[in-house]
């Protein structure tokens, strides 16, 4: 039988101030002839008691609320040294040299959008004095780290894994993603727009003509599309953009999403893209959504007519 009346006693646990206090964990003495079921039950009770004791101790030490966790942020070079060249290429979809060339382009825009995201307004004192920014306890996150976090996120990395890789907070992972998105949108070199110059259009057509076996002419771009899957938007979200929920549903794919249409040149470089319409919209909406795309539509129509006459 399980002895917990006369043989029960409390543990004495030392406290942080050098004293001692009785523990609520009750120890039991077992008879060597007890059945196996009673031994298992008694052992489980001891384990549960230990867990409750540890949990109560932790609750006493840490008050409720958010806590500051000291972290030593990893740079992109630290991550590269941990992964090696091959794993880094697979994880970030580029080499380290390509990463630094991309960083050179985006660095000014990342810095500007980081300042906007902080929401801190620098104010002058008497006589036009200048105050410095408030201190950051774990140090400032560099622009290269923010770019590396965003690229790893775009490549499919989970925010919880990324925060452990770069040793930054979960909120900073998501903040870095949107900072880099805004930086790309603000960078003129990454502005995607179909060329309105006739000479540029002829260069694109010449590239397709040189690469095609039958010698296709007047092809000023290759068009393809994809449905970007999304969750079903709420009524409030649909109302905000001025349409109902059905406009986002693609009947052929049986998914809610956005209709993404893109144009590329002969080397696969995207030269125009649109993701303005819901999944129910026809692909032709992409071609008539701007003047440049109307030009592209006329060029493609001319190409179809010429090809028909050649046949």
Asked if 110 and 179 touch (Cβ cutoff 8 Å), the reply is yes
* Model pLDDT, residue 285: 74
- CA dist 110 to 23, 66, 192, 233, 242, Å? 54, 28, 19, 30, 32
Q: How many CA atoms within 13 Å lie on the side-chain side of 120? A: 12
* Model pLDDT, residue 136: 65
Tokens of 110: 């990342």
Neighbours of 299 (CB within 10 A): 17
CA–CA separation, 44 and 123 (whole Å): 62
DSSP string, 9-71: EEEEEE-TTS-EEEEEEEE-EE-TT--HHHHHHHHHHHHHHHHHHHHHHHHHHS-SS------
What confidence tens digit (pLDDT) does each residue in 192-218 have? Answer: 888 888 888 889 999 999 988 888 888
- In sequence order, which residues have a C-beta less than 8 Å from that of residue 63 and are 6 or more positions away? none
Name which of 180, 183, 162 is nearest 171 in CA terms. Answer: 162
Asked if pLDDT for residue 101 goes beyond 80, the answer is yes
310 CA to centre of own chain: 49
pLDDT band at 5 (very low <50, low <70, confident <90, very high): very low
pLDDT band at 45 (very low <50, low <70, confident <90, very high): low
Tokens of 25: 């964990």
Residue burial 180-209, b: 16+ Cβ < 10 Å; e: rest:
bebbbeeeeeeeeebbeeeeebeebbeebb
* Model pLDDT, residue 64: 61
Sign of CA dihedral 149, 153, 159, 161: negative
Where is pLDDT greater, at 16 or 92? Answer: 92
Range with the largest mean pLDDT of 67-81, 104-118, 294-308:
104-118
- CA dist 116 to 111, 124, 125, 148, 157, Å? 9, 18, 21, 20, 25
CA–CA separation, 270 and 265 (whole Å): 7
Query: Which single residue is written with the structure tokens 């125009």?
Result: 272
- In sequence order, which residues have a C-beta less than 8 Å from that of residue 9 and are 6 or more positions away? 26, 27
CA–CA–CA angle 229, 235, 241 (5° rounding)? 70
CA–CA separation, 123 and 130 (whole Å): 7
> What letter would DSSP give residue 211?
H
Instruction: Please state the length of the chain.
Output: 311
Neighbours of 119 (CB within 10 A): 6
176 CA to centre of own chain: 8
Where is pLDDT greater, at 9 or 154? Answer: 154
Asked if pLDDT for residue 1 goes beyond 50, the answer is no
* Model pLDDT, residue 67: 60
What confidence tens digit (pLDDT) does each residue in 256-305 have? Answer: 999 988 889 999 888 888 888 888 888 777 666 654 555 566 666 665 55
Asked if 231 and 256 touch (Cβ cutoff 8 Å), the reply is yes
């Amino acid at each position: 039988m399980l002895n917990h009346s006369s043989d029960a006693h409390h543990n004495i646990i030392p406290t942080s101030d050098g004293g001692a206090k009785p523990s609520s964990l009750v120890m039991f003495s077992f008879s060597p002839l007890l059945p196996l079921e009673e031994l298992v039950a008694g052992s489980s009770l001891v384990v549960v008691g230990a867990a409750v004791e540890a949990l109560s101790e932790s609750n006493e030490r840490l008050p409720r609320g958010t806590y500051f966790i000291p972290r030593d942020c990893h740079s992109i070079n630290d991550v590269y040294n941990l992964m090696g060249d091959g794993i880094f290429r697979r994880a970030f979809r580029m080499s380290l040299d390509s990463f630094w060339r991309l960083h050179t382009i985006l660095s000014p825009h990342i810095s500007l959008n980081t300042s906007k995201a902080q929401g801190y307004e620098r104010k002058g004192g008497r006589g036009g004095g200048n105050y410095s920014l408030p201190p950051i306890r774990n140090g400032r996150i560099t622009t290269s780290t923010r770019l590396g976090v965003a690229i790893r996120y775009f490549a499919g990395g989970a925010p919880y894994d990324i925060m452990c890789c770069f040793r930054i907070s979960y909120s900073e992972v998501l903040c870095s993603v949107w900072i880099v998105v805004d930086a790309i949108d603000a960078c003129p070199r990454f502005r995607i727009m179909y060329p309105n110059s006739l000479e540029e259009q002829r260069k694109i057509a010449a590239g397709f003509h040189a690469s095609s076996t039958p010698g296709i002419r007047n092809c000023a771009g290759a068009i393809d599309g994809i449905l970007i899957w999304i969750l079903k938007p709420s009524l409030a979200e649909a109302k905000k953009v001025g349409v109902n929920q059905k406009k986002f549903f693609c009947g052929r794919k049986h998914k809610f999403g956005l209709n993404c249409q893109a144009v590329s040149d002969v080397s696969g470089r995207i030269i125009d893209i649109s993701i303005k319409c819901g999944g129910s919209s026809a692909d032709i909406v992409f071609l008539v959504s701007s003047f440049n795309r109307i030009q592209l539509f006329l060029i493609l129509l001319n190409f179809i007519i010429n090809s028909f006459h050649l046949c």
